[in-house]
Amino acid sequence: MAIEIPKNLSELPTRQTRFVGRGIRRVEDAALLTGRVEFVDDVVLPRMLHCAILRSPFAHARITRVDTSAAEALEGVVAVVTGEDAKRWSFPAQSSPDGWGIHCIAGEKVHYVGEPVAAVAASNRRVAEDAAELIEVDYEPLDVVADPFVAMQSDSPRVLDDQDSNVMMDRIFTWGDVDGAFAAAPHVFNEKFRWNRLGANPTETFGCISEWDPMELNLTIHGSIQSPGMFGLGRAASFGLPSNKVNIISHPHGGSFGGKGGTRGCDISCLLSRKAGGRPVKWIEDRGEYLLSGGSQAWDRHYDVSLAVDADGVVTGLKVGLVDDLGATGEAYGAISAAKPLAAFTGPYTIPVAQYDLKLVATHKLPCGPYRGMGPPPHFFVLEQMMDIAARALGEDPAEFRRKNFIAPDAFPYTIPSGNEYDSGNYPEVLDQALALADYPALRAAQAEARAEGRLVGIGVASAIEPGVFDWNAYAIVGMPGTGVPEGATVSIDIVGMATVRVGFSLEGQGQYTLVSQLVADYFGYEPESVRVVHVDTQSAPPSFGPGGSRLGVAITGAVLGACERIREKMCRVVAVLMQTEPENIELMDGKFCLKGAPGAEMTVAEVAGTMLGRSDLLPPDIDPRPEATHVWTAPGRTPADEEGRAKSYLTAAQAVHVVQVEIDRDTGMVEIQRYCLADDCGTRLNPDTVEGQTEGSVVQGIGAALLEEYVYDADAQPLCTSFMDYLMPTVFDVPEIEKVAVVTPSPFTPLGAKGCGEGAIHTTPAAIMCAINDALSPLGTSAREVPAAPARLWKLIREANGGG
């Protein structure tokens, strides 16, 4: 029997939703706030050892000798592994593009500073670190390339010996008659931009305990793991194990934002466990390791962008040239970040044709990984700067210029040139709400006064799309195969009617257990606190990807409601048998199964469950007597990518408009954010408090991107920002009050009409702040084209504009 997942709140089997759509108290918080959650570093296993990793101080060097004898002789040391062990017992990392992965411990060469060279398992971490210092390594330094433009030259030092060049990919994607559009355009604008390397910094770094079973060849890994299913498949590939021999137990963890990679360190701890005869080996990545060589870095980009605009100020074409410096290998999947903009290439605008000249380049820096937003935030930073450049040149207000180019509310579903389909939206309404919230005319009036006093006050208006509910097909151009990402949930009701939901992901901070409890509570008439949500390991869990790509809220809603539907359908049959009628005559409403048209003829969920489990002898043999169901949800209607990368990929398109006011101190270059207003539309808000939290956190990360965060390397590819003294994230003092207003345009394609919203504001914030900064600078005739807009950079621009130099 087919099930139908409710597409809006009114289809839930309740007269009035009590929990879904409301900001309820999170079910996760009591345990978190009272310290009763078990993080991976809390886990102590019998005979457990501790790992420390020795890392390369060179960006490029030949290893001529590794002597581990002194380390092995230290009391407490049980195992030491080097590149030889990695080569013997593991495969090079999988990568995107294919063929750009290397072993987890360096063999003949090191390729970036921080690359593991050897590792120790010892009785405790202190001894392990002492032992790592005793390992003697001789290096023969080789020429280094830190600049992707130099790296692309044929005579550049090569990063990987088995590749012909450092160019991982060089392709031009053309969607429509781009040359024609630019030839016909009366206005063509061109500008270069630089987005410096930054990245995720979760509260907790990666950690794991790996246990290699030498008899059964099973691998068990506890860890702070974002996507346990994928992580298990990756480890199986690393060690040539069948996937069902790897069990991943993910523990609640302190955030990720894409930074929970950890695969290298995990593989190293697996090698150590194997060498130590199967003893569990714990590796806790410390912050120094994380910043130097963890999942910390992303988006090291050089852009060259052109915009074609017709006589009426309508944008008719977009060309984006991107040289993306992915660092030494493709193992951290930084290439995906270059592919994802295809899901929203032309932003919220009707730009009919577009081109993407994409060059992925290897240098001797840390391999780039994922970061919240996964690539579009820099893309929208450049697109929105181009929109402002065009508006300014044509003498148009930046808000109205955007409005003119918006996709109209009645044009959805709307297919963009790069192939994705936007589900729904009301962009003019979102713009109106943002401008009203900010009192835009008053802001402009105040700005005029400030300018008359010689102050550098600027207002930025920016809009962006957040692609939600990712699909692998969006990344087809960088070699990710396949379409479809499953998310499953198992809902079980016990003999007294209590519900437990088993999911395949652990707590990470987004409040998805609360969402699950809200859904089941409204569906079956429970209180959310009475719904138990448990994470199970990968050998028991339903198929799951977990959080990522702004998908889990939507996907888990589909999975949970699907499982609830299956239980309802089964229970209707049971009740029909007991009431001697047909299942179609039974209806679930507010936790009771009722015989239609017969008031009082009803059974509670608990009564039905009790009957199924206690009296299955009364049921016909074709009814499964368990009040339990699993549903695996995948996004409907996804399509494989064509040759030009076009696909129906991300299922939803949330949209936002941010209005920001800044003032720049013209003597110091320091930027103060004076107002921050935003309107956003992510469809139905399943838990508005959660959406608000996601939005605020994402604005903060966007502020970091715009003003503070940057991993600096010198010309020898030596990293200069390896602690929080130098890698600067916003603190509470750097974040203004964030004023917010919601617009709700439900998605026609998703469970309950929700859209992905987990990555959120970082798509728009850097763009909006830079628009404001450039608005402030415009009277000086200069503009900032590089993020972060550090005070030294802005001061230099101001000084040069004033004729200094």
Q: Where do contacts with another protein occur on this chain (CB under 8 A)?
A: 125-126, 129-130, 133, 286-289, 667-670, 708, 710, 712, 720-721, 723, 725-726, 728, 730-731, 733-734, 790-792, 795-796, 799
> Beta strands of 486-595 (E only): which ranges?
487-493, 499-503, 532-535, 586-589, 592-595
CB of 114 to another protein, least distance (A): 14
Instruction: Name the packing angle between helices 765-777 and 688-703 (round to 10°).
Output: 50
Give the containing element (helix H, strand E) for 320.
strand 315-325
Specify the residue, 270 or 708, whose C-beta has the smaller distance to another protein: 708
CB of 369 to another protein, least distance (A): 21
Specify the residue, 130 or 628, whose C-beta has the smaller distance to another protein: 130
CB of 207 to another protein, least distance (A): 13
CB of 492 to another protein, least distance (A): 43
Pick from 120, 116, 124, 129: which is nearest to 68 by CA?
120
Specify the residue, 7 or 125, whose C-beta has the smaller distance to another protein: 125
Report whether the peptide linkage leading into residue 736 is cis, meaning its omega lies within 30 degrees of zero: no
CB of 731 to another protein, least distance (A): 6
Q: C-alpha dihedral over 5, 10, 15, 21, to 10 degrees?
A: 90
Specify the residue, 54 or 559, whose C-beta has the smaller distance to another protein: 54
| CA atoms of 604 and 299, how far apart (whole Å) | 54
Other C-beta atoms lying within 10 Å of the C-beta of residue 154:
9
CB of 54 to another protein, least distance (A): 13
CB of 710 to another protein, least distance (A): 8
CB of 747 to another protein, least distance (A): 39
Pick from 641, 642, 665, 658: which is nearest to 760 by CA?
658
CB of 303 to another protein, least distance (A): 22
Specify the residue, 95 or 196, whose C-beta has the smaller distance to another protein: 196
Specify the residue, 383 or 794, whose C-beta has the smaller distance to another protein: 794
Other C-beta atoms lying within 10 Å of the C-beta of residue 230:
17
What is the SS3 assignment for 46? coil
Polymer length of the chain: 805
> Beta strands of 494-576 (E only): which ranges?
499-503, 532-535
Give the containing element (helix H, strand E) for 190.
strand 187-195
CB of 11 to another protein, least distance (A): 48
Specify the residue, 41 or 129, whose C-beta has the smaller distance to another protein: 129
| CA atoms of 743 and 14, how far apart (whole Å) | 25
| CA atoms of 184 and 89, how far apart (whole Å) | 60
* Count of alpha carbons within 13 angstroms of residue 402, beta-carbon side: 31
516's tokens: 């699950």
Specify the residue, 650 or 727, whose C-beta has the smaller distance to another protein: 727
Specify the residue, 247 or 296, whose C-beta has the smaller distance to another protein: 296
> Beta strands of 701-803 (E only): which ranges?
739-742, 786-787
Pairing of strands 354-361, 167-175: antiparallel
CB of 293 to another protein, least distance (A): 14
Specify the residue, 40 or 169, whose C-beta has the smaller distance to another protein: 40
Specify the residue, 199 or 669, whose C-beta has the smaller distance to another protein: 669
Pick from 622, 516, 229, 163: which is nearest to 363 by CA?
163
Specify the residue, 444 or 799, whose C-beta has the smaller distance to another protein: 799
Contacts of 199 (CB under 8 A, 6+ apart): 258, 259, 295, 296, 297, 298, 299, 368, 369, 371, 709, 711
CB of 702 to another protein, least distance (A): 16
